[in-house]
Homo-oligomer: A and B are copies of this chain.
Amino acid sequence: MTNRDVKLPADLKFDAAGLIPCIVQDSDTGRVIMFAWMNAESIEMTIKTGETHFWSRSRAELWHKGVTSGNTQTLISLEFDCDMDALLVRVKPSGPACHTGLESCFDSGRVELGPA
């Protein structure tokens, strides 16, 4: 558990539910491993502890990723986009990101493209 100072940009834009979309990328492989939502508290907890925290919309609670499965994600960097309404966190995962056991939640499927 680290204890970093939190310096969030004041003009970060949250939606009507107080949430901001968050893309999670493996900092070593570059693979996008999940997409989730953060609120102000989960951003602060992520930075303070150095491990990703999200807001679970289905459970309506703060969610420390990996606290049950052991597959935590160590924060490497946190970036925001030009509109200040989306986050990109790069992490070192300690195990598969997906509850299915796959490395990435996006390993679940792809749209088959017909001939161009």
Please list the residues of chain A having a beta carbon within 8 angstroms of any beta carbon in chain B: 2-9, 21, 23, 25, 30, 32, 34-35, 43, 47, 50, 75, 77-84, 86, 88, 98-100, 102, 105-116
Contacts and interface: CB of A to CB of B under 8 A. Distances in A.
A19 to B, nearest CB: 11
Nearest to A112: B7
B78 A105 contact: no
Contact of A111 (B9, B109, B116): B9
Identical chains in the assembly: 2
B35 A23 contact: yes
B82 A100 contact: yes
A48 to B, nearest CB: 9
10 contacts: A2-B116, A6-B114, A9-B111, A35-B88, A43-B111, A77-B110, A79-B108, A79-B110, A80-B108, A84-B108
Given A21-B35, A32-B32, A32-B88, A116 B4 contact: yes
B50 A79 contact: no
Contacts of A30: 30
Given A4-B114, A47-B113, A114-B4, A105 B82 contact: yes
